[in-house]
Structure 1
Amino acid sequence: MSSEGFHVHGPHDHAVEHAAHGSDDFSSRIAVMTAVLATVGALFGYLGGATQNDAALYKNNAAIDKTTAANAWNYYQAKSNKQNLAELATSLPGVDQAKYRSEVARYQSEKADIKKDAEKWEASSEAWNKKSEEAMHRHHQWALATTTEQIAISLAAITLLTRRRWLLRATWVVAIVGIALGAFAGFHIDPLGAIFAGEAVAHH
C-alpha cells in the first residue's frame, strides 16, 4: 500500500480492456461491471487511506497528552517533596511552626489541583488512543473491502477471457461481499466483533 491509499488497478486491466473491444453484449456487460467495481474499489481505497491518517493523528494527540500528564505528575512530585520538607520543619525547635504549617496546607491545595490536571490529561490520552484503535480497525475493514473488490475485478477479467458464465456469477458474489464489507466499515459495524462478543456472553 502506498502513502496515497490502495491501488485498485493491476496488470489484469489490460486484459479487461482488450476483451472489452468485443461487440457482443456479454463482453460489454462485463466491461461496464469492471468499470463500476474499479470505481467502488477506488472509493474504498480512499476511505481506507483517510482512516489510516486519522489513526496516526489520534495516536500523535495521545502521545502529546501523555507527555503533558507526565510533566504534571513530575510537578506534583516536586510539590510533595516541598510539602515533606515543610512538615519536617514544623517538628524542629526554634522555627516559625505556624509559617511551615501554612506552607504544608498550601502545598496540599496545590497538589490537589495538579493531580486533577494530570488525571485529566491521562484520560484525554486514553480517549485519543481509543479513537486511534477504532480508526485503525476501520482502516483494516476498508482494506479488506478494497481487496475483495480487486479480487472481483480479477475474476471479471478471467470471465472475459474464458467466457465462462459461472465465473460471472462468482464475480457478482465476490463483488457483493466487498460492497457489504464496505458498508460495514462505513456504518461502523463490526460483524465479527459482535459474533465474538455474543459467544463470550453465552459462555458466561
Structure 2
Amino acid sequence: MALRRFDLDHVGAEIGQHLCAVWSGQNAAEIDDLNPVQHFHRSVSPCYAIDLVHGRALRAYNRVRWAAGRPPEHDASIDKGEAAVSEALERAHETIEHHEHGHGQGDPWARRVAVLVSALAAALAITGIAGNAAQNEYLTHHVAVSDDWSFYQAKNLRATVTDSEMHLLASLPNAAEPAIQSRIKEAKATAERMRDDPVGGKGMKQLSQLARTEETLRNEAHHRYHGYEYAAGALEIAIVLASVSVVTRIRALTLAAAGIGVLAGLAAGSVALDIF
C-alpha cells in the first residue's frame, strides 16, 4: 500500500483557528488583532495543544516513512510543538511584566509564578531529552531484534537444506563408499553447527538467546519512552495552568500547576530509576 500523508497543516490550521475563535470569543478573522494579554490567552488556549499534536503527528508520520525506507518529509511545522513551549513561556513572562507595570510595583506572587513556570520548563526540557534518548534506544534494539531473527531464519534454512542433502546421500545405492560417507559426515557437522555454535556464537541457539535479550531491552526502552511522554504531557499542562493563573488571578490554578509538576517530576524520576 502506498504511504499517504493526511493534510495535517490544513486540518491543524482549521481546528486551531476555530478553537482560538471560541476561546477568545472573537471571529477567526479578528484573531491576529488581539492585544498582548488576549494574544497570551491564545498561546495557552487549545491552539497550544493543537500545535503540539500537529507537530507530534508529523513526526510520527515521518517515522513511518523512515521505517518504510523512504526519507522523511521536511516541514517547518514539525518543530511547531516544541516552539509552542518556548512561545508560551515568553508570553507568560510578558504577561507577568504587563501586570507588574499595571500595579506600579512588582507583584511577588507573579514573580513566584514566573519561577514556577521556569522550573516546569526546565523539567520539561530534561524529560524531553530523556524521552528522545529512550526512543532512539528502542529503535536501535528493534532493528537488532529484526536482524537477529532474520539471521536465525537464514541459519534454519541452511540447516534444513543440509539435512535434506545428508538424507539424500544416505539413500544412494553407493552410500557406503568412503567419499559419500565423508560428504554425509560433513553435512551432518554443518547442520549441527548451524543449530548450535558455541565457539563462533552464531548458531540458531545463540541467535535466539541474543534476539530475546534484545527484545527485553527493546521493551524496557519502549516502556521508558512512554513514561517520559506522559510526564512531558503533564508538565506541558502544568505550564499552561501556571500561565493562565497569572492572567486570571486564580491562585488555585497555580497550586494545581505546582501539584501536577511535582507528580510529573516524580513520575519521570521513577521511570529513570526503573521503579515502575
3-state SS, counterpart of residue 20 of structure 1: helix
In structure 2, what is the equivalent of residue 30 of structure 1? 113
Residue number among 167, 174, 188 corresponding to 2:253 in the alignment: 167
Other-structure match for 2:163: 80
What's the counterpart of residue 51 of structure 1? Answer: 134
**Residues 1:107 and 2:187 are matched in the alignment:** yes
**Separation (CA, whole Å) in 2 of partners of 1:139 and 1:81:** 46
Which 4+ residue blocks in structure 1 deviate beyond 6 angstroms? 3-6
Aligned residues: 186
- Corresponding position: 1:97 with 2:180: no
**2:271 aligned to which of 166, 182, 185:** 185
CA offsets 1:142-170 (integer angstroms, 9 cap, x no match): 00111111111111011111122222221
Runs (5+) with no aligned partner, structure 2: 1-55, 64-77, 101-105, 197-202
Deviation at 1:101, TM superposition (A): 3.6
Q: Which amino acid aligns with 1:78?
A: V
Larger displacement relative to structure 2 (147-156 or 110-119): 110-119
C-alpha change, 1:62 and 1:144, in structure 2 (3 Å) is: same
By how many angstroms is 1:67 displaced?
Answer: 1.4
Secondary structure of 1:97's counterpart equals coil
TM-score, normalization by structure 2: 0.62
Structure 1: tracts of 5 or more residues without a match:
191-204
CA offset digits 1:113-135 (Å, max 9, x no partner): 11010221122122212211211
TM-score (norm 1): 0.83
CA root-mean-square deviation: 2.1
Relative to structure 1, the CA distance from residue 96 to residue 36 in structure 2 (aligned partners, 3 Å threshold; closer, same or farther) is closer
Aligned AA (1:25): P
Percent identity over paired residues: 17
Give the superposition deviation at 1:38.
0.4
Provide Cα deviations, 1:90-118, integer angstroms capped at 9, x if missing partner.
xx2xx261423443333222211110102
Distance 2:148 2:263 in 1: 40
Amino acid of the structure 2 residue aligned with 1:141: G
- Alignment partners' CA distance in 1, 2:214 and 2:165: 33
Aligned residue in 1 for 2:206 = 120
142-151 or 121-130: bigger deviation: 121-130
1:130 aligns with 2:209: no
Instruction: Indicate whether 1:61 and 2:131 are aligned.
Output: no
Matched residue SS, 2:118: helix
